[in-house]
Amino acid sequence: MHDRRHPLIGAFAVLLLAGACAAPPAARHPLDLALPPLRLEPPRVERLLLDCGAPLYILEDRSLPLFGFFGLARAGSAWDPQGKEGLAALVAETIRTGGAGRLGPEELDRELEFIAAAVSTTADQDAVSISLSCLSRDAERALPLVCDMLARPAFDPGRVELRKEQVREIIRRRNDEPRQIVGREFRRLVYGGDPYAHPVVGEPGAMDRIGRGDIEAFHGDRLAPAGMIFGAAGDFDRATVVRILNGAFGPAPRAGEGLPPPPAAGTRRVTLIERETEQAHIIVGHLGIRRDDPDYFRVMIMNEILGGGSFSSRILERVRVREGLAYHAATAFTTNLRDGLFYAVCQTKQETAAQALRIILEEIERIRSEPVTPDELAAAKESFSNSFVFRFATPLSSVEQAASLEFYGLPADYLETYLDRVAGVTAGDVLAAARARLHPDRAAILVLGDRSRISPPLEEFGPVRPLFVPGPSAPEEADR
């Protein structure tokens, strides 16, 4: 039999790309196929500075009659003032819906929707982003409106109140889906009182404490166009786009970053949310890494092998394929401007909860104690480098790649050196990354499930502390 575990196969596969030859008889194994080389030709995304000082990443491409534009601001929910959680998301929503420039909210909606210009504004922990996608023929009509939303939003009081009502209802419903509950409460367990702890949408009662002054101040401090990063891609005339942006944006500066340092690492603790569900919903983890961590590639390749690579990863192979315990079992490092999260997640019937959790902890321990195999390492690295081409699948994705580097403070040659950085990761690097970045002894373990059916009990993982989360039919949550 063909031995696919041989370490040289990985290196050979990359060389193969250069060695095109006439088609041989059908290969006995697909990795033996002689395939033509791939010409990777990432488009040249240009960076220029607008008059206000903000960078604009730009790529003209006439393949499709589409125009895409976006702006990124370091203005995510991490900057929500305490007690006013959800402010960033409220501002993001209402710069779109509250009217802007000369147009009231309804006129703005009609103007954009008649030309089918898709404008969306979103907030996450790090950023408020705005994006526009329209037919290129409408770019000159839609782009100034998007600029007005950023520079001259009206925050119509009716639309602000409407959004607050919606947010109150979303928060009222937040305990409907177990998956949503464990994700939210896990974040709170790990981050404690940190600005990364709360849900982007907000907390109960917070909407009542947000006034017009808060909205205007947040917009003025954090969403000044001069402090943003912009991108434009597709079928457009660059001079026109630059003229529109320069005409719209003034040079007002943005407030400083001012994020506190991340919280200290916690200790091993087990938390149980009681609910009569079919499955136990399990999440385990701790603080992770920043997006600009120098170990980024080593950590990501380690995670790919541990649990990030789906069926190529150890945890899914054991929990799902070998044991049939769960449909979904995975690990992830979410990276942010500041330390993100590391977590492993899985859902299994109550009776097998302890078994699944034990396997997850064993695999985290194993990758910290012995080197990954040459085949695992080669597979993970090839997956990263061979899928690199998809980062440039559309003009807009190429521009987004370039702009996100600057947003996260990554070096300008990041993409040029990407393949070399991946290729340079060794089994020793993976082991070192696992030891430095995985801490099962300090992990928060959170389980939502039916205590009476979880057997053996969760106490084997540490003292179990109950956490009360009201059910959907409970009276409204009090303020935290």
Partner 1 sequence: MRRPLAASLAAFLLLAASRGLAGEAPRLDVHRHRLRNGLTVLVLEHRLAPVVSCSVFYRVGSANERPGRTGITHLLEHMMFKGTRRIGTRDFAGEAPLIERINELHERIGEIERSARPGAGHAAGMLREELAEAERRADSLMVKNELWKILMRRGAVDLNAFTGKDRTQYLCSLPANQLELWMWLEADRMGDAVFREFHRERAVVLEERRLSIDDSPAGTFGERLYAAAFIAHPYRWPIIGWASDIERITLPMVEEHYRRSYAPNNAVVVIVGRVVPAEVVRLAERYFGRIPSQPPLPPVVTREPPQRGKREVRLALEASPRVALAFHRPPSAADDAAALDVLETVLSAGRTSRLHRGLVEGRRVAVSAAVTSPTAKYPSLFIAHAVPRRPHTVGDVERAIREEIDLLAREPVGDWELQKAKNVIEADFVRSLESVVELCGLVGTFEVIDRWEYLNEYVPRIRAVTAGDVARAARDYLQEETCTTVVIP
Are 131 and 197 in contact by the 8 Å Cβ rule? The answer is: no
Q: Is residue 451 involved in binding partner 1 (CB under 8 A)?
A: no
CB of 325 to partner 1, least distance (A): 7
Identify whether the C-beta of residue 314 lies closer than 8 Å to the C-beta of residue 361: no
Over the Cα atoms of the chain, what is R_g? 25
Q: Does 176 bind partner 1 (CB under 8 A)?
A: yes
SS3 state at 23: coil
Which residues between 118 and 157 bind partner 1 (CB under 8 A)?
Answer: 118, 133-137
Report yes or no: 470 and 175 within 8 Å, Cβ to Cβ. Answer: yes
Spatial strand order in the sheet of 127-135: 46-49, 55-60, 229-234, 66-74, 127-135, 118-123
Q: How far is the CB of 148 from partner 1 (least distance, A)?
A: 16
d(CA 143, CA 364): 48
Q: Residue from 94, 125, 347, 401 that binds partner 1 (CB under 8 A)?
A: 347
Amino acid at 143: L
Q: Does 328 bind partner 1 (CB under 8 A)?
A: yes
Q: Which CB, 63 or 82, lies closer to partner 1?
A: 63
User: Interface with partner 1 includes 190 (CB under 8 A)?
Assistant: no
| In the complex, minimum distance from the CB of residue 151 to partner 1, in angstroms, rounded to a whole number | 21
d(CA 108, CA 85): 28
Pairing of strands 229-234, 55-60: parallel
User: What stretches of 94-146 adopt beta strand conformation (E)?
Assistant: 118-123, 127-135
Member of 44, 239, 261, 387 binding partner 1 (CB under 8 A):
387
Q: What is the chain's percent helix, strand, coil content, to nearest 5? A: 45, 20, 35
- The Cα 297–Cα 301 span in angstroms is 6
By CB under 8 A, tell whether 386 contacts partner 1: yes
DSSP conformational letter for 224: -
Q: Is 8 in the site for partner 1 (CB under 8 A)?
A: no
Site for partner 1 in 199-238 (CB under 8 A): none
Interface with partner 1 (CB under 8 A), residue total 87
Q: Residue 472 CB: number of other CB atoms within 10 A?
A: 10
355 near partner 1, judged by CB under 8 A: no
Does position 13 interact with partner 1 (CB under 8 A)? The reply is: yes
- Map the footprint of partner 1 across residues 255-284, applying CB under 8 A: 277-279, 281
Helix (H, G, I), strand (E, B) or coil at 54: coil
What is the maximum alpha-carbon separation in the chain?
73
Residue 294 Cβ vs partner 1, minimum distance, rounded to whole Å: 25
Q: What angle do CA 213, 168, 217 make, to 5 degrees?
A: 15
Closest separation in Å from C-beta 433 to partner 1: 20
We find the least distance from the C-beta atom of residue 455 to partner 1, in angstroms, to be: 17
Which one of 129, 394, 403, 461 is in contact with partner 1 (CB under 8 A)? 394
* 242 near partner 1 (CB under 8 A): no
Give dist(CA 66, CA 234) in Å, integer. 6
By CB under 8 A, the residues from 50 to 69 that bind partner 1 are 61, 63-66
Q: Does 252 interact with partner 1 (rule: CB under 8 A)?
A: no
Kindly state whether residue 166 participates in binding partner 1, applying the rule CB under 8 A. Answer: yes
Q: From CA 389, how far away is CA 17, in angstroms rounded?
A: 14
Give the nearest distance from C-beta 200 to partner 1 in angstroms.
17
Among 7, 8, 19, 37, binds partner 1 (CB under 8 A): 37
Question: What is the identity of the amino acid at 243?
Answer: R
CB of 353 vs partner 1, minimal distance in Å = 12
Considering only 69-77, 360-368, 392-400, 451-459, which stretch makes contact with partner 1 by CB under 8 A?
392-400
SS3 134: strand
Q: Give the residue with the Cβ less far from partner 1, 126 or 156.
A: 156
326 part of the interface to partner 1, by CB under 8 A: yes
Q: Which is nearer to partner 1, 364 or 448 (CB)?
A: 448
Q: Which is nearer to partner 1, 209 or 349 (CB)?
A: 349
Nearest residue (CB) to partner 1, 27 versus 252: 27
CA-based nearest residue to 94, from 142, 171, 172, 165: 165
Q: Does 21 bind partner 1 (CB under 8 A)?
A: no
- Residue 239 binding partner 1, by CB under 8 A: no
Looking at 15, 49, 311, 463, which residue binds partner 1 (CB under 8 A)?
Answer: 311
What count of residues does the chain have? 480
22 binds partner 1 (CB under 8 A): no
| C-alpha 66, offset from chain centre | 26
The reply to whether 446 sits near partner 1 by the rule CB under 8 A is: no
Asked whether position 165 contacts partner 1 by CB under 8 A, the answer is yes
Residue 471 found at the interface with partner 1 (CB under 8 A): yes
CB of 321 to partner 1, least distance (A): 5
Give exposure, 190-213, as e/b (b: 16+ Cβ within 10 Å). bbeebbbbbbbbbbbbbbeebeee
Would you call 349 helix, strand, or coil by DSSP? Answer: strand
